[in-house]
């Protein structure tokens, strides 16, 4: 109790006297940054997830081949959720006596879609508008492909089973439209109440019943937990995560960028805190020696230091979280226009990140310095020249970095990302340390070369040896982050945006009969100005792995299970498509005509437990064939090129009945001509990817904007490191300048010397920072974000100029007060 | 050695020696010092620079450990105590005044004087500190920070801080060394006045003959040995 009371009193006095300002400010900035990022990304991520809901038409969907119990809807209403129902099944649609086509009939009920929107037009490929509600009874909205196949237009009557419907709209976009190829027939959207009157659903019909839910996350989670165990074996939940690979890949990248920002902030804050704590400890050596001479024991000092640090942790967590919350509020308001997303309110969870951050940073990086204080020899009260107690630097920082690494991992849960950033910063710190020693030695040679100010400045760098190295490391890290956030960030974001080029395919054609392909191709190239790429396409089922039937294998992975339960799309090609990269094994290469080979997508390979060398047996249209897996591929799902889980080497399946799949880009002004394509090639199904493409582009753009905002806080942390680094030599500088001024040097000369010193330190740190930023940018782009990164030629000159200017200016400005202070005051204090 | 205290001896050394390593090999700073100081006595340690005066003071106060010999402070053998044990003993029995004052810059005059009482967990720290600051004539300077005080005032705060715990032994290392003559005299008057009043044993290191002469006894040290 005595210790606690003393510790708190003494902490209050230190705070009042400004002794802890830098340390507390560094931790508060860290907590503010991490919680602001936390609160904001929490909201943005949830908003982005809601965007994904728009693709799914709901937050949560139950899909089942059997009717879903209606009691679930009542339970959902009781929990405050909104609901809707939908039924989908294939059926023949008749138009007049002659025309008929297979279509996917989509019966939707009131309220559909719960998220997102249906877009319709009054003529094929015409101007689209957002539909108000769902088709009225007796009405139907048809996809252009269906209209083309039937040879009818809006206003025509069509028949499904025993029910006649009038087509009142062209269905241009409907959420929950899987851009995969499983759903081959074009859609006809009708009112769910008309479905019963069609009288086409019989036992054994391929029907998909859906119940859609939307509402608060907690309510959804509660609903899922209650209903989950009662779902039949055939029914399954779908949520945002199942919204489609393209959207998921975009969201994952967005979160990667956002977490990167918070991660770098934490590391920087830790560096700033360690520097500030070291300074605090050095300044308190005499006080501790004095306390010991007055009877304070080591245990007392140890406990009071700990109590003070705990108080700092609590105080900074609270202050930082409150500031962080306020900052994210401003951030959210600022971003309203730019982000174009309505942000849901934040949860309180990110406040815990603040406590975690403060604890890790303070205990990991400040405690070691304060802990060492207890070993201050009391004799220091008489012999001021006694060195400060040694810090077991290696062990201490290893533990601190371990804690930091652990904390960051707890936040981002991405070992690779954490490894790259922490490893990169650590490598840079070591490199900066080594280079610092080099410069300090080199500086000694140049001290005679320049004028008096430079001589004084450069001499200071070599004289201050250890301190200079610490400053170079601090400045280097600070600058590197600034460079990463300015130059590299723009490059990374640009690289991300480049993944969806302006002419990314926006239309897919499937069901192309091979003999008609040359004519179709000519039409696309001639009339639509597109450059189509086509791949052959068959459907087959995996029946055995290594000769063992799949049903006898213990496959538990959901992706693996889903893969073996369904027919898969299979293609064959000699060339590895641009959106694919081989991760294991080798691609068969162009001109391969030897033994048949298989290439698998990495996720599926993992799910099936298959690796290079295993043999797979397929059944395609009743024929079985076996081939070894020779490569595992990474597929860039958001590339908008036709991508396949399964690829075969040419030759194996060429004799089997097949169709082609083609993709191409059509400029908006030529979209109307698709109408004639549909009429000329009625067997072909057109998939409009424009909507999903726009969705992914929007996610990329909005996430980029969010990241830019979030990086502002990281910038602030970078500036804190710079300030802490400047503070390292502040006391010494005050004393020195007082002595120099007492000896007759004018303020101008001293300030010039200081400027020379900081400019030199900044230039070196800037060069190191450019090196570090390039390396980290490259690794991040290629290994983490899977982007093609071009090194900006501006990075190095920017690093040097930015470094010397920023550090020179900040250092000189921060030291100006010390230099200006009356030498009498300073010397009297000493 | 308890009997020695009963005899009125508060400080005693036997065969006390201190050696340190230097680039030239082992350096002897104090050699075979035998010394006894009685309760209430004032003793000046004098001698040329580097003679070992401050080292002897540090060993007597338990701030440092001897290479040889023993030190008894208020009846306890310092060489048998660990650092915390010595700290506790100092907290109960000892006060210090230093040449460079050693005031904590972030604390006011009052808080600096309260410091030893707070470390001892005394609830009346503020009241006692005010009384002592009154006694040294600094009533109007209670809330001033060290940098707002003159050298003489700083040392008076330091003296108040040393006496506030009513120590049995007061160690002073060049207490007037950083002060002008007038301030030095005032500080010395205060030191000896309070010493007499509280019947404290005073051990001071000084270069100044006038100050040394005011002590009951002057012990001269030359090259680490007592010559008086």
Per-residue model confidence as pLDDT tens digits over A740-749: 777 777 778 7
- Is B147 in the A-facing interface, judged by CB distances under 8 Å? yes
Q: Give the confidence band of B5 by pLDDT, cuts at 50, 70, 90.
A: very low
> Across the interface, do B147 and A293 touch by the CB < 8 Å criterion?
no
Averaged pLDDT, B36-59: 92
Q: Chain B: residue nearest A829 by CA?
A: B147
> Which ipTM did the prediction report?
0.88
Query: Percent of chain A, pLDDT > 90?
Result: 9
Contact of A824 with chain B, judged by CB distance below 8 Å, is answered with no
Q: Do B106 and A286 touch (CB under 8 A)?
A: no
Distance from CA of A296 to the nearest CA of B (A): 6
Q: Does residue B76 belong to the interface with chain A, where contact is any CB pair within 8 Å?
A: no
Consecutive 10-residue runs of chain A (830 residues): their mean pLDDT? 83 83 81 80 72 78 84 90 90 80 87 87 81 91 85 89 91 66 70 88 75 88 86 75 60 64 73 80 86 90 90 93 84 59 76 87 83 86 78 72 79 73 74 75 65 69 73 77 69 67 77 85 85 82 89 80 79 84 86 82 88 90 86 80 84 77 82 76 73 67 65 70 73 74 76 82 83 77 67 78 84 77 61
Does the beta-carbon distance from B83 to A383 stay under 8 Å? no
DSSP conformation letters of B92-145: HHEEEE-TT----TTS-HHHHHHHHHHHTT-TTHHHHHHHHHHHTT-GGGTT--
Q: Are the CB atoms for A13 and B146 separated by under 8 Å?
A: no
Contact A381 B98 (CB under 8 A): yes
Asked if A291 lies within 8 A of B115 by C-beta distance, the reply is yes
Find the DSSP H helices in A340-366. 349-361
Cis previous bond, A638, omega within 30: no
Residue B63 with chain A: CB contacts under 8 Å: 293, 377-379, 381-382
Task: Categorize the per-residue pLDDT at B213 as very low, low, confident or very high, splitting at 50, 70 and 90.
Answer: very high
Are residues B147 and A828, on separate chains, in Cβ contact within 8 Å?
A: yes
Alpha-carbon gap, residue A370 to A274, rounded angstroms = 10
List Cα–Cα distances, A523 to A204, A659, A696, in angstroms: 41, 18, 29
Q: How many CA atoms lie within 13 A of A314 on its CB side?
A: 7
Indicate which of A23, A382, A386 best probes the interface with B, i.e. most B CBs within 10 Å of its own CB. Answer: A382
- Token digits of residue A197: 């009157």
Q: Which of B54, B83, B107 sits opposite A298 (nearest CB)?
A: B83
The answer to whether A651 contacts chain B (CB < 8 Å) is no
Is there a contact between A382 and B98 if contact means CB atoms under 8 Å apart? Answer: yes
Q: Residue A55 corresponds to which tokens in the numbers above?
A: 């693709």
In A109-186, where do the E strands start and end?
Answer: 119-121, 129-130, 139-142, 157-160, 163-173
Nearest CA of chain B to the CA of A372: how many Å?
15
Start-end of H helices in A362-464: 367-372, 393-412, 415-446, 452-463
Number of neighbours of residue A400 by Cβ within 10 angstroms: 21
B90 chain-A contacts, CB cut-off 8 A: 293-295
List Cα–Cα distances, A96 to A151, A152, A188, A215, A288, in angstroms: 10, 9, 16, 44, 98
Contact yes or no for B91 and A295 at CB 8 A: yes
**Helix A298-339 / helix A349-361 crossing angle, nearest 10 deg:** 140
The span from the CA of B62 to the CA of B66, in Å, is 9
pLDDT of residue A762: 85
Residues of B with Cβ-Cβ distance to A731 under 8 angstroms = none
What's the CA gap between A89 and A208, in Å, rounded? 6
Give the number of other CB atoms < 10 A from CB of residue A586: 11
Q: What is the pTM of this model?
A: 0.65
User: What single-letter DSSP state applies at residue B33?
Assistant: E
Does the distance separating the beta carbons of B90 and A294 come in below 8 Å? yes
pLDDT at residue A566 in the model? 75
The answer to whether the Cβ–Cβ distance between A381 and B63 falls below 8 Å is yes
A85 alpha carbon, distance to own chain's centre: 33
pLDDT at B4: 43
Nearest to B96 among A13, A287, A293 (CB): A293
Chain B hits for A381, Cβ within 8 Å: 63, 96, 98, 102
Q: Does A296 touch chain B (CB under 8 A)?
A: yes
The whole-number pLDDT of residue A496 equals 64
CB pairs under 8 A between A and B: 86
* Whole-number Å distance between alpha carbons of A781 and A162: 58
Would you state the pLDDT for residue B89? Answer: 92
* DSSP 8-state code for residue A182: S
A16 interfacial to chain B (CB closer than 8 Å): yes
User: What would the two tokens of residue A151 be?
Assistant: 């040879």
A279/B contact by beta carbon, under 8 A: no
In chain B the first and final C-alpha atoms are separated, in Å, by 24
Q: How open is the CA angle A441-A447-A451, to the nearest 5 degrees?
A: 155
A9–B contact, CB cutoff 8 A: yes
Q: Are the Cβ atoms of A294 and B119 closer than 8 angstroms?
A: yes
Q: Look at A382 and B147 and tell me if their CB atoms are within 8 Å.
A: no
The predicted structure's pLDDT at residue B8: 85
Omega prior to A113 cis, within 30 of 0: yes
Chain A residue with minimal CA distance to B91? Answer: A295
């Amino acid at each position: 109790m005595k210790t606690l009371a003393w510790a708190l009193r003494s902490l209050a006095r230190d705070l009042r006297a400004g002794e802890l300002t830098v340390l507390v400010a560094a931790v508060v900035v860290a907590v503010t940054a991490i919680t602001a990022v936390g609160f904001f990304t929490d909201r943005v991520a949830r908003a982005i997830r809601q965007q994904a809901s728009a693709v799914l038409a709901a937050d949560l969907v139950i899909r089942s081949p059997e009717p879903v119990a209606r009691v679930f809807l009542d339970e959902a209403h009781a929990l405050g959720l909104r609901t809707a129902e939908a039924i989908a099944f294939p059926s023949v649609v008749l138009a007049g006596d002659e025309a008929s086509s297979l279509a996917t009939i989509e019966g939707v009920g009131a309220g559909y879609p719960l998220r997102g929107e249906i877009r319709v037009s009054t003529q094929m490929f015409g101007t689209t508008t957002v539909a108000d509600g769902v088709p009225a009874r007796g009405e139907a909205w048809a996809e252009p492909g269906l209209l083309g196949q039937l040879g009818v237009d809006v206003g025509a009557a069509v028949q499904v089973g025993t029910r006649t419907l009038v087509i009142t709209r062209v269905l241009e976009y409907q959420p929950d439209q899987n851009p995969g190829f499983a759903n081959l027939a074009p859609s006809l959207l009708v009112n769910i109440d008309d479905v019963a009157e069609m009288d086409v659903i019989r036992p054994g019909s391929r029907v998909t019943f859906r119940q859609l839910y939307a509402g608060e996350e907690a309510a959804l989670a509660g609903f899922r937990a209650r209903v989950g165990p009662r779902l039949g074996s055939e029914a399954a939940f779908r949520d945002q995560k199942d919204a489609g690979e393209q959207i998921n890949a975009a969201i994952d990248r967005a979160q990667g960028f956002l977490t990167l920002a918070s991660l770098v902030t934490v590391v920087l804050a830790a560096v700033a805190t360690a520097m500030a704590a070291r300074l605090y400890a050095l300044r308190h050596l005499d006080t501790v020696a004095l306390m010991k001479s007055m009877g304070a024991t080591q245990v007392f000092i140890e406990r009071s230091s700990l109590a003070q640090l705990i108080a700092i942790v609590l105080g900074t967590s609270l202050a930082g979280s409150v500031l962080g919350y306020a900052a994210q509020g401003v951030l959210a308001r600022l971003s309203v226009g730019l982000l174009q997303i309505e942000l849901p309110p934040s949860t309180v969870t990110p406040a815990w990140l603040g406590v975690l951050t403060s604890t890790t940073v303070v205990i990991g990086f400040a405690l070691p310095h304060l802990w060492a204080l207890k070993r201050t020899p009391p004799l220091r009260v008489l012999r001021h020249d006694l060195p400060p107690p040694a810090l077991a630097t290696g062990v201490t920082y290893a533990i601190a970095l371990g804690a930091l690494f652990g904390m960051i991992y707890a936040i981002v849960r991405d070992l690779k990302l954490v490894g790259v950033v922490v490893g990169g910063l650590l490598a840079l710190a070591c490199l900066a340390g080594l280079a610092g020693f080099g410069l300090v030695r080199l500086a000694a040679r140049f001290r005679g070369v320049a004028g008096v100010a430079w001589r004084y400045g450069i001499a200071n760098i070599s004289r201050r040896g250890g301190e200079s190295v610490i400053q170079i490391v601090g400045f280097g890290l600070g600058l590197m982050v600034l460079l990463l956030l300015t130059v590299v960030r723009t490059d990374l974001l640009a690289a991300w945006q480049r993944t969806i080029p302006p002419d990314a395919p926006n239309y897919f054609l499937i069901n192309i009969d091979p003999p008609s392909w040359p004519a179709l191709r000519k039409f696309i190239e001639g009339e639509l100005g597109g450059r189509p790429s086509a791949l052959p396409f068959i459907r087959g089922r995996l029946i055995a792995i290594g000769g063992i039937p799949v049903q006898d294998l213990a496959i538990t992975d959901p992706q693996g299970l889903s893969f073996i339960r369904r027919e898969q799309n299979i293609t064959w090609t000699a060339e590895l498509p641009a959106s694919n990269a081989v991760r294991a094994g080798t691609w068969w290469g162009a001109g391969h005509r030897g033994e048949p080979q298989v290439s698998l997508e990495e996720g599926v390979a993992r799910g099936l437990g298959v690796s290079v060398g295993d043999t797979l047996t397929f059944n395609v249209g009743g024929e079985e064939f076996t081939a070894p897996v020779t490569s595992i591929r990474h597929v860039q799902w958001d590339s908008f090129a036709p991508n396949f889980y399964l690829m075969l080497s040419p030759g194996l399946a060429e004799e089997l009945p097949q169709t082609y799949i083609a993709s191409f880009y059509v400029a908006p002004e030529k979209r109307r001509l698709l109408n004639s394509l549909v009429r000329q090639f009625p067997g072909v199904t057109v998939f409009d990817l424009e909507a999903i493409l726009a969705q992914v582009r929007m996610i990329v753009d909005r996430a980029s904007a969010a990241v830019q905002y979030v990086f502002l806080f990281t910038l602030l942390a970078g500036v804190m490191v710079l300030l802490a680094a400047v503070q390292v030599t502040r006391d010494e500088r005050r004393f020195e300048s007082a002595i120099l001024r007492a000896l007759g040097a004018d303020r101008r000369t001293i300030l010039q010397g200081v400027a020379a010193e900081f400019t030199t330190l900044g230039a070196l740190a800037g060069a190191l920072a450019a090196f570090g930023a390039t390396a980290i940018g490259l690794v991040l782009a290629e290994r983490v974000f899977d982007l093609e990164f071009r090194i900006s030629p501006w990075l190095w000159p920017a690093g040097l100029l930015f470094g010397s200017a920023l550090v020179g200016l900040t250092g000189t400005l921060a030291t100006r007060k010390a230099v200006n202070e009356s030498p009498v005051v300073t010397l009297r204090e000493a | 050695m308890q009997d020695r205290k009963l005899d009125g001896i508060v400080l005693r050394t036997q065969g006390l020696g201190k050696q340190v390593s230097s680039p030239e090999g082992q350096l002897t700073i104090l050699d075979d010092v035998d010394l006894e100081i009685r309760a209430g006595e004032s003793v000046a340690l004098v001698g040329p620079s580097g003679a070992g005066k401050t080292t002897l003071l540090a060993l007597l106060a338990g701030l440092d450990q001897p290479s040889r010999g023993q030190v008894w402070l208020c009846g306890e053998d310092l060489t048998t105590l660990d650092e915390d044990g010595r700290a506790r003993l100092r907290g109960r029995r000892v006060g210090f005044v230093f040449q460079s004052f050693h005031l904590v810059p972030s604390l006011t005059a009052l808080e600096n004087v309260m410091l030893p009482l707070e470390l001892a967990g005394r609830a009346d720290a503020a009241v006692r500190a005010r009384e002592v600051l009154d006694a040294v004539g600094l009533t109007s300077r209670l809330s001033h920070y060290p940098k707002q005080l003159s050298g003489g005032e700083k040392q008076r705060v330091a003296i108040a801080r040393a006496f506030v715990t009513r120590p049995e032994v007061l160690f002073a290392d060049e207490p007037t060394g950083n002060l002008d003559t007038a301030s030095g005299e005032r500080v010395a008057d205060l030191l000896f006045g309070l010493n007499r009043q509280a019947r404290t044993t005073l051990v001071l290191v000084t270069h100044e003959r006038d100050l040394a002469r005011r002590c009951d006894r002057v012990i001269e040290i030359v090259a680490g040995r007592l010559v008086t």
